Structure 1
Amino acid sequence: MKRISNSSFSFSLGDFRLRAEKASLSIEDGRKSVQDGGVPNGWVPGAVSASGDIELDATAMAILAEEAAAKGSWQGIEPVDLQFYAKGTKEEENVEAFGCLLNLKDIMDYDPTSDKKATVKIGFEVTSPNFVKINGIPYLDPARVEGLTD
């Protein structure tokens, strides 16, 4: 049976289907327990955020550079939706992050002794109330985002 591995993932950045050398997405969830008299007694919601990094090689970076040129600057690129997808024989994983604001992080990491492909690291932060979906299931409770616009 074919299982999902790191090399199984495909990646879309907005309308662009790119090959990411490496990608990560982390969620910070500020929910925490409350106490009465020093004893845990329920919980309260807190702020949430999601961010991550994508490493692109020169080929993928050239595609993104065309978008930046069309917008007049790297900062001119509007927030985009990201999708990470993989499928095995019986497994499937689909992670979506919405309204991701891109920012160039490590634009040069040069080591003349390395045998690895050169990459650029792009950071992103989720800005949409649609936030993140994991296998089609929203991370946020729909009641939390009711009335928010995207």
Structure 2
Amino acid sequence: MGVSGPERDELLADAVRMRERGEAEAARERLVALAERCADDAEVAYQAAWAHDVLGLEAEAVPYYERALRGAGLSAEDRRGALLGLGSTYRILGRYDEAVALLRAAVVDFPRDGALRTFLAMALYNTGGHREAMRLLLTLLAETSADPGVERYRRAIEFYAGDLDATV
């Protein structure tokens, strides 16, 4: 028994408002019920995943994230959020190789997103990819920091991001 159109939109909006008010468990319950009724709805699945994550229920969030990313209809921002959420969740669950693979693909789709690059660096660290993790983080730092010291040494930081073993 599916639900669509204005009824679906109102049920979804109500559940999101509940989560935003701090009623995380009630929102999760509503979103799970809605996801059962809207099995092919990527946006509902994404919101259900997020509701699980907010409560620290990472393992339970995974199938909802995966469903959201398999489906169609997510906005670019929600797709980016689902990729970040699933990649981070894989990492938290110790599924490091899956986290790296997913986050690498996400960075290709959203190359300027600093959060995706940061979470990829963390997952690379977990898989022993320390050199690449440092390169990503140093590059991100050089590109985004407004710290006067970082700005002053930006060229050196960018240089060493490419080769931390370089000497004079």
Q: What's the TM-score once normalised by structure 1's chain length?
A: 0.24
RCO comparison, higher one (Cα < 8 Å, 6+): 1
Structure ranking higher in helix proportion = 2
